[in-house]
């Protein structure tokens, strides 16, 4: 049986890397709206360029705490011509459910 957390994951989540420690009260917030607006890109255009359903783009645009697949996130990042990391932000959890 494999351990729940491998050494690789422990290193990734280490606070030595400047990340919040495991168990801290933080959540991931998507910055899709901000990045798209800075590039003057509408939801419709983003949906077409990312080859992603408009309803998905609209939901992520309006709820930056919504769950998203890595595939969709990658498509959006490519459509916006930014690294995926530019679309993510770690913020304090203020009772927002993930």
For 14-49, what is each residue's pLDDT tens digit?
Answer: 344 455 555 578 899 999 999 999 999 999 999 999
CB 93 within 8 A of CB 27: yes
Phi-psi group of 40: left, alpha or beta (phi > 0 → left; psi -120 to 50 → alpha; rest → beta): left
pLDDT tens digit sequence for 44-95: 999 999 999 999 999 999 999 999 999 999 999 999 999 999 999 999 987 6
Q: Looking at the whole model, is its pTM more than 0.75?
A: no
Distance between CA atoms of 24 and 37, rounded to whole angstroms? Answer: 31
27-84, what's its fold?
434 Repressor (Amino-terminal Domain) (1.10.260)
Provide the pLDDT for residue 96: 54
């Amino acid at each position: 049986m494999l351990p729940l957390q491998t050494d690789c994951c422990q290193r990734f989540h280490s606070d030595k890397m400047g990340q919040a420690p495991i168990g801290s009260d933080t959540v991931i917030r998507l910055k899709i709206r901000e990045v798209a607006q800075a590039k003057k890109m509408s939801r419709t255009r983003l949906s077409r360029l990312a080859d992603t359903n408009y309803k998905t783009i609209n939901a992520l645009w309006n709820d930056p705490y919504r769950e998203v697949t890595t595939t969709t996130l990658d498509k959006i990042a490519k459509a916006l011509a930014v690294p995926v990391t530019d679309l993510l932000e770690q913020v304090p959890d203020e009772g927002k459910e993930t």
